[in-house]
Amino acid sequence: MQQEKDTDAIRHSLAHLLAMAVLEKFPKAQLGIGPVIEHGFYYDFKLPQPLTPEDLPALEARMRELARLPLAMKGRKVAPAVAKKVFKNQPFKLDLIKEFTKEKRPLSIYTLSGPDSKSSFDDLCRGGHVKSTAEIPLEGFKLTHIAGAYWRGNEKNPQLTRIYGLAFGSKAELEDHLRMREEAERRDHKILGKKLGLFAFSPEVGPGLPLYLPAGNAIREAILGYISDLKRERGYSFVWTPHLAKESLYRRSGHLGKYDAMLPSIQAEDERWVVKPMNCPHHFEVYRASTWSYRDLPVRIAENATDYRNEKSGELNGLLRVRSLTQDDTHHIVRYDQIQAEIDMILGIVKHVYDRFGFKKFRARISIRDPKNKKKYFGSDALWEKAEAGLIEAVERWGVPHFIGTGEAAFYGPKIDVLVEDAIGREWQLTTIQLDYVQPENFDLSYTDEQGRKARPAVLHVAVLGSLDRFFAIAIEHFAGAFPFWLAPVQVGVLTVNEAAEPYAREVKNALAKQDIRVWLDERNETIGRKIREAELQKIPYLLVIGKREAEAKTVAVRERGKGDQGAVSLKEFQERIAPELS
Ligand SMILES: [Zn+2]
Ligand SMILES: [Zn+2]
């Protein structure tokens, strides 16, 4: 924590230094704001002439020179009149001073000044800096790029030039971060998705509505097949429900009125219909289609369902944020005394899934009530205390590091979210387990208890993968497109050297297809070198090269991804070798 604070002070001070350097270069520049952001800082300017990325190295060099002097950083509280005088030529600062004065917030000015007092720079700021620029690691920062931004984020205001910088406590940390960024760019699912032919977006269909191409859909089906099998083995019941519902269904669930902007709707005849943004109300109606006794619970209603949400176009991001998302959604209707055991079972599945995908590090966040604002939550204190303690105990039994998100619970119940670290150390939120006492009331869900009385169950809303689309994006980046055998869209490529090999190559292909392997035969009239190169770009796990020699001996020459030539073996031997990877 202390270290984070120090890094923030460095980042904040660098923002001041940047403004000082820009003002030297453009004395007429108008200053916006310069906050600390994740990994660095930025500063907004209105400049008398355009700035290009080529100008950044010189600005960066000047910042280093100024820091080396070194400059001291001192702050003082000032009265509005003083502040107005200091920033009389800075309209954006005057704008801020006006606002602060109106809100009766204190004003302070921080000054960077050199030993010769020739170089000095004032900024309106509330503090959190280094005392001297000598504390700034000179090789730990870098100006990275320029972007446009409106003053206060409002497009009616003047457009400013935003200069971004990265800053860390040392050169090594900066270099690590740059390497990680480069690696993340190399793994970008949007680029790999195009290269590997996994998915596409069409302007005719519309933004945020991905089209899964055959290779991408093969992976999608492999993921869904895997997770559905896990659930079936544990007694989940799969259902299918329509993509539309009467508006009144979402009024009953409480979503209409609260999340209207997220709910696409259509008018048909004299009724308004909602395109479903989630599956809960439909699944509650599935539950209500039968009568239940205490012995029947828990009931696990599962559906890999596609939902639709009016996400803002500016927030769409490849498969990470889409308008049509598929969830591996389940609703567990449970007696209160079953909540614990049910969560244990779900966390067991979660662990299974993460192991399968090679996610080694993960941690759980348990979202609980805001203790200062208990009124906003549904249900009694006792119920909440028991539920929160129950979730914490469940995660402790699970044995995974966890932390508490105070005040992050929904009004209807506490939840567990699991955050997963990918192959390059980025953290993603995947699984959500939401406990809910309110919807059973809204939908009058009930069962008959041991005494023959009507009793109220609780609901657990669970998506293990979360949004499948988002999970797919994360998996593409996690594996850098080199999917493990069980996920690879083409698992084995059969490549012919010449025409003479074709009849036997087809035999090989058919035998593998019979084994349920996704196999592709390349019998184009191309050189074998070219065929191998192209297949390797597709990151196919196994390539079987078949020429005259292999055809005569009934063998296959095996090339394994990442390992190269593995020599020739009989087809049967190869089939036996990969059999364990099929399960
Ligand atoms: Zn500051
Ligand atoms: Zn739900």
One domain for residues 129 and 45: yes
User: Is residue 419 in a domain?
Assistant: no
What integer is the mean pLDDT of 110-117? 85
User: Is residue 298 in a domain?
Assistant: yes
One domain for residues 220 and 170: no
Q: Is 331 among the catalytic positions? A: yes
Instruction: Point out the catalytic residue in the list 46, 231, 283, 309.
Output: 309
User: Is residue 264 in a domain?
Assistant: no
Cα(278) to ligand 2 centroid in Å equals: 7
Residue 1: the pLDDT is 40
Q: Is 88 among the catalytic positions? A: no
Q: Encoding tokens for residue 400? A: 């995974």
Closest ligand to residue 460's CA: 2
Last residue of a domain, one of 450, 478, 506: 478
One domain for residues 49 and 132: yes
One domain for residues 171 and 204: no
Last residue of a domain, one of 152, 185, 218: 185
**How many angstroms separate the CA atoms of 224 and 218, rounded?**
10
Q: Is 129 among the catalytic positions? A: no
- Mean pLDDT, the chain, as a whole number? 93
Tally the domains of the chain: 3
Question: Which domain CATH number covers 154?
Answer: 3.30.980.10
Q: Encoding tokens for residue 53? A: 């990325």
Q: What percent of the chain has pLDDT over 70?
A: 99
Residue 253: the pLDDT is 86
Residue 254: the pLDDT is 82
Residue 373: the pLDDT is 86
Q: Are 256 and 250 in contact (CB under 8 A)?
A: yes
Instruction: Point out the catalytic residue in the list 44, 122, 123, 329.
Output: 329
One domain for residues 113 and 173: yes
Does the pLDDT of residue 515 top 50, yes or no? yes
Q: Tell me if the pTM is above 0.75.
A: yes
The 10s digit of each residue's pLDDT in 240-291 is 999 999 988 988 888 787 777 777 778 888 888 989 999 999 999 999 999 9
Instruction: Point out the catalytic residue in the list 187, 331, 402, 531.
Output: 331
One domain for residues 207 and 304: yes
Cα(57) to ligand 1 centroid in Å equals: 23
Closest ligand to residue 12's CA: 1
User: Is residue 423 in a domain?
Assistant: no
User: Is residue 519 in a domain?
Assistant: yes
Q: Is 327 among the catalytic positions? A: yes
One domain for residues 165 and 292: no
Closest ligand to residue 277's CA: 2
Cα(10) to ligand 1 centroid in Å equals: 10
Q: Is 280 among the catalytic positions? A: yes
Cα(83) to ligand 1 centroid in Å equals: 15
480 Cα distance to chain centroid? 16
Cα(314) to ligand 1 centroid in Å equals: 30
Q: What percent of the chain has pLDDT over 90?
A: 83
The 10s digit of each residue's pLDDT in 492-509 is 999 999 999 999 999 999
In sequence order, which residues have a C-beta less than 8 Å from that of residue 369 and are 6 or more positions away? 377, 384, 388, 406, 407, 409, 414
Lowest mean pLDDT across 222-236, 240-254, 453-467, 502-516: 240-254
Residue 382: the pLDDT is 87
Closest ligand to residue 327's CA: 2
User: Is residue 362 in a domain?
Assistant: no
One domain for residues 205 and 96: no
User: Is residue 390 in a domain?
Assistant: no
Res. 5 pLDDT band, cuts 50 70 90: low
Burial (CB < 10 A; 0-12, 13-18, 19+), residue 319, is: buried
User: Is residue 361 in a domain?
Assistant: no
Last residue of a domain, one of 444, 478, 512: 478
Res. 3 pLDDT band, cuts 50 70 90: low
One domain for residues 457 and 545: no
What integer is the mean pLDDT of 299-324? 94
Q: Are 438 and 460 in contact (CB under 8 A)?
A: no
Cα(450) to ligand 2 centroid in Å equals: 27
One domain for residues 500 and 446: no
Question: Which domain CATH number covers 540?
Answer: 3.40.50.800
Instruction: Point out the catalytic residue in the list 255, 276, 365, 415.
Output: 415
**How many angstroms separate the CA atoms of 495 and 515, rounded?**
19
Rg (CA), the chain: 30
Cα(134) to ligand 1 centroid in Å equals: 16
Does the pLDDT of residue 115 top 90, yes or no? no
Cα(446) to ligand 2 centroid in Å equals: 17
One domain for residues 180 and 198: no
Residue given tokens 């230094």 in the structure block: 17
Report the SS3 class of residue 192: helix
CA-CA-CA-CA torsion for 479, 484, 487, 490, nearest 10 degrees? Answer: 110
- Domain containing 68 equals 2-185
Residue 30: the pLDDT is 96
Question: Which domain CATH number covers 473?
Answer: 3.30.930.10
One domain for residues 466 and 551: no
Cα(307) to ligand 2 centroid in Å equals: 12
What integer is the mean pLDDT of 140-156? 94
Cα(11) to ligand 1 centroid in Å equals: 9
Does the pLDDT of residue 376 top 90, yes or no? no
Q: Are 417 and 429 in contact (CB under 8 A)?
A: yes
Closest ligand to residue 43's CA: 1
Cα(72) to ligand 1 centroid in Å equals: 13
Closest ligand to residue 433's CA: 2
In sequence order, which residues have a C-beta less than 8 Å from that of residue 238 and are 6 or more positions away? 228, 231, 232, 302, 303
- Side chain identity, residue 529: G
Q: Are 170 and 201 in contact (CB under 8 A)?
A: no
Q: Which protein residues have a CB closer than 5 Å to ligand 2 (ion)?
A: 280, 461
